Structure 1
């Protein structure tokens, strides 16, 4: 394991190999994570979603997601994770364009396929970060620069992959409408039938189309969208838990806390404490 820890003992950035970390058991990280699959295949589980993967591939995990692999054979992988206090992706959105693309996207599979050349490039970047850890005078500036390149490369590949998919995949107009309706009405409409009625289709048709198009049921997407908004408010604002519950239209903060913990296995207070409040939250108050 190679990592950098803050003076207060906070994990800032680190790299672990499959010999150091067992991802066949459920884990939750307080940091953003990249899992570089060198070789092997299996199923990647992230919260309530799962999908097949074959290396070489990059997988992504947002803070406090429950993730694990299932596989019949050993998988060779490298894990790179970083805390938002070390590198704020919201503050660097123009440089890396990863928020809402690699992370915090409930509609897209959190992964990208890699060519052998791309695998080599990411492996070299990881080795450079490892080398920097060995330096007694290891520089945060240098580590952030390497991380920024890593994030930017991932985003570039993901965007190109999506462009190809958009060309080769038939658009489902109803599902694109569902996506827009969900983003607009997730605070007030919480039942699949609400959206089925707006789309002028049956709940059964909505469910089948949603699973085929997004890989999730409508109920999963509705829940994921509400949880995503809660995470944003906890991370990107200084609102109290009571204020956040009010903004999300829960009856009270206790009901909101029970809902959040049921979905994430963490209380809103713990999520905020471990994940931190983004510097963006404080900049917006100036």
Structure 2
């Protein structure tokens, strides 16, 4: 295993693309795959439309086999890497949060984490053609309204992709009050887990009682409020343990725990192993 850095590498959106959008079609032979195989984060959204070929990707410790006519979405700051990619053809869209339609941004937060999406031939063909059109617009930078046209075309593609993700979990029933509260709670956890740890603090943010919050989350997910808070904290700890050489004590502090021993007990309780065991187990 290569030497780990003090933090997980973070790629920021290239400053020379003022539109906040990059889209292009590649073949596997065009890639510097050694870089892709290294775990990293990005501060932008990635959509990967695989037209030909197959491969294996890892996103936050979950491995996915992807095949042709599939779309993979990686949200900002998820730790990911490509483990293998057979000869193939694909389109990659990179888009900054600022360039996304606010409603699409909200929906992307709701569907994350999302498994790769396998589409039928007709539906994927539409996405592919939309990607081709957006790529052509991306290259016509001399257009007077280039950034606006590009953003609109790109958001049309993103909207179509989101609609396909939503179809996978489509239900004719209107979301219950419990489901709505649970969804909003999990979004809050993702934004605040470093500094906000207790169910009561989240209930206060949502202007409801702790008992009612726990009741709604338990009804919607089968798990308690504390369970979801701890799962999010431990996910971040796993990212840092695997992809950086920070000590367990440093990671505990970064995640808002001054009491290193308490953090260690929490990690053990959630995963069934110590933080160091998790790290050593993954040193392959």
TM-score, length basis structure 1? 0.51
- Match of residue 67 from structure 1: 80
Determine if the alignment matches structure 1 residue 50 to structure 2 residue 50: no
CA contact under 8 A between 1:31 and 1:63: conserved in structure 2?
A: yes
Q: Give how far 1:93 is off.
A: 3.1
SS where residue 118 of structure 1 aligns?
A: helix
- Match of residue 3 from structure 2: none
Question: Deviations 1:102-161 (Å, cap 9, x if unpaired)?
Answer: 4xx2xx434211111122112111211221133242411111111111111111111110
Determine if the alignment matches structure 1 residue 21 to structure 2 residue 28: no
CA contact under 8 A between 1:98 and 1:151: conserved in structure 2?
A: no
- Match of residue 147 from structure 2: 140
- Match of residue 77 from structure 1: 90
Q: Write the distance in 2 (CA, Å) between the matches of 1:16 and 1:48.
A: 27
Q: Give how far 1:226 is off.
A: 8.7
Which one of the candidate residues 124, 143, 160 is aligned to 2:167? 160
Residues 144, 226 of structure 1: CA spacing in aligned structure 2 closer, same or farther, 3 A cutoff?
farther
Question: Deviations 1:23-79 (Å, cap 9, x if unpaired)?
Answer: 552254332100111133332201322222222110011224332233473243221
Q: Write the distance in 1 (CA, Å) between the matches of 2:47 and 2:85.
A: 22
- Match of residue 94 from structure 1: 103
Can you give the 5+ residue segments of structure 2 that lack an aligned partner in the other structure?
A: 1-12, 174-181, 199-213, 215-221, 240-252, 260-284
Can you give the 5+ residue segments of structure 1 that lack an aligned partner in the other structure?
A: 168-176, 190-198, 200-208, 211-216, 229-244, 253-286
TM-score, length basis structure 2? 0.52
Determine if the alignment matches structure 1 residue 111 to structure 2 residue 122: no
CA contact under 8 A between 1:40 and 1:73: conserved in structure 2?
A: yes
Number of corresponding residues? 190
Residues 141, 218 of structure 1: CA spacing in aligned structure 2 closer, same or farther, 3 A cutoff?
closer
Determine if the alignment matches structure 1 residue 224 to structure 2 residue 235: yes
Which one of the candidate residues 41, 48, 64 is aligned to 1:35? 48
Q: Supply the RMSD in Å over aligned alpha carbons.
A: 4.5
SS where residue 80 of structure 1 aligns?
A: strand
CA contact under 8 A between 1:125 and 1:150: conserved in structure 2?
A: yes
Residues 11, 93 of structure 1: CA spacing in aligned structure 2 closer, same or farther, 3 A cutoff?
closer
Q: Write the distance in 2 (CA, Å) between the matches of 1:12 and 1:45.
A: 24
CA contact under 8 A between 2:59 and 2:79: conserved in structure 1?
A: yes
- Match of residue 127 from structure 1: 132
